[in-house]
Amino acid sequence: DAGVIQSPRHEVTEMGQEVTLRCKPISGHNSLFWYRQTMMRGLELLIYFNNNVPIDDSGMPEDRFSAKMPNASFSTLKIQPSEPRDSAVYFCASSSTGNYLKLFFGSGTQLSVL
């Protein structure tokens, strides 16, 4: 079975550019999470969706960040405009009803903003 699929694996961009990260959760999972990981702050929850509806976006740093989940099999995290301090690894994770705290992570997107 395919796990959580994220793209791209690596993204290098210049400050001010728009960045879009993509995630396909495990089929049948109805919760999707976006995390950001840095050495300084560890893994931080940015936003999570349940049945495609954003439930808690209090972790989204600022208005430059936005996330969507148009259907059960696809989500995006967009940063516009990007800044060097956004450089991090962004993980998407999914889980299923009844076991919602058992997260399955994608391989992550390594974002570098120059």
Of 16 and 61, which has the nearer Cβ to other proteins? 61
Residue tagged 């430059």 (tokens): 64
Q: What whole-number distance in Å separates Cα of residue 63 and Cα of residue 71?
A: 23
Is 2 a residue that touches other proteins (CB under 8 A)?
no
Q: Which of 12, 15, 43, 114 binds other proteins (CB under 8 A)?
A: 43
Of 45 and 72, which has the nearer Cβ to other proteins? 45
Task: State the nearest-atom distance from the C-beta of 19 to other proteins, in Å.
Answer: 19
Using the CB atoms, write b or e for 2-15: b if 16+ within 10 Å. Answer: eebebeeeebebee
Q: What whole-number distance in Å separates Cα of residue 91 and Cα of residue 44?
A: 10
Footprint (CB under 8 A) of other proteins, residues 52-111 = 55-56, 91, 100-103, 105-108
| Planar angle of CA 24, 30, 34, nearest 5 degrees | 55
Name the token pair of 59: 């972790």
Is 13 a residue that touches other proteins (CB under 8 A)?
no
Q: Which of 11, 23, 32, 33 binds other proteins (CB under 8 A)?
A: 33
Report the interface residues with other proteins, using CB under 8 A: 33, 35, 41-43, 45, 48, 50, 55-56, 91, 100-103, 105-108
